[in-house]
Amino acid sequence: MTSSPTGEVRSVPSDSRLPDWRPINPALYPAAVSAAKGGAEFFQFASGSVWVVSAVSSFRELRVSGNVSLGTAVAITQSELLTNCHVVKGHPIITIKKGQVIRQVRVQAGDERTDRCILSTKGRYLTPVAGMRRFKDLKVGEEVYTIGSPGGFERTLGYGIISGLRTVEGQHLVQTTAQMSSGSSGGGLFDKSGNLIGITTFILRDSQGLNFAIAVEDFFR
């Protein structure tokens, strides 16, 4: 970034390339928690790890809400969050928001082909998810919840089931009937105990209920 003669902070245009992919250290993969929770209890337990993401090319765009890419990110350590690359790619200024708290973050690593991106903070102030589950342990028919930011509406809760488990070109995808819409990209797909099982990523157009999440373990490999 550079300063103009008026003192306004401006962004140097980005070349849109992402940092090379470097997975999260597998040693940081938390064990699953086991106590099932109802909707309100689940939300209280899991939502603190979910943030709204805004990505822009300049601070002016952030102030006037112009050309802002909105999505979601989920904290998995005190300084790292998971999201989708299509939310942040090409935007040098990225912020996360929860309530009145707004922080600037950076892309730590990314793989555009599989839409996996890792964001990082300067401080260690995030509340990470309590637990995670591996793809091989999931079952079709399980009840699941989504927490995302559709339309920028912070920490919106959705409910459904796992409707399929797919492996496409080595990538593990969790198909679900839980609601997703624009802004949900990068949000969390959780089981009813509050374990993170995937990062919500896309919807097949002209289809009913075909929503997908990238299995969380794919961010560790």
Summarize the confidence of residues 7-29 as an average pLDDT.
69
pLDDT band at 88 (very low <50, low <70, confident <90, very high): very high
Residue 151's pLDDT is what?
80
Residue 61's pLDDT is what?
64
**Residue scoring higher pLDDT (68 or 50):** 50
Angstrom distance (rounded) from CA 15 to CA 1:
14
Region for 201 from its dihedrals, namely left if φ exceeds 0, alpha if ψ lies in -120 to 50, beta otherwise: alpha
pLDDT band at 208 (very low <50, low <70, confident <90, very high): low
Residue 206's pLDDT is what?
59
Question: What letters, b where the CB count within 10 A reaches 16 and e where it falls short, cover 52-76?
Answer: bbbbbbbeebbeeeeebbbbbbbbb
Q: What percent of the chain has pLDDT over 90?
A: 73
Q: Is 4 designated active site?
A: no
Q: Is 115 designated active site?
A: yes
Residue 9's pLDDT is what?
28
Q: What are 104-159's pLDDT values in tens digits?
A: 999 999 999 999 999 999 999 999 999 999 999 999 999 999 999 988 889 999 99
Q: What is the mean pLDDT of the chain?
A: 87
Residue 19's pLDDT is what?
95
Summarize the confidence of residues 49-72 as an average pLDDT.
82
pLDDT surpasses 70 at 204: no
Catalytic residue among 86, 120, 181, 193: 86
DSSP state of 37: -
Q: Is 111 designated active site?
A: no
**Residue scoring higher pLDDT (103 or 152):** 103
pLDDT surpasses 60 at 15: no
Catalytic residue among 115, 149, 172, 191: 115
- Look at residues 149, 142, 158 and name the one whose alpha carbon lies nearest to residue 191: 142
pLDDT band at 8 (very low <50, low <70, confident <90, very high): very low
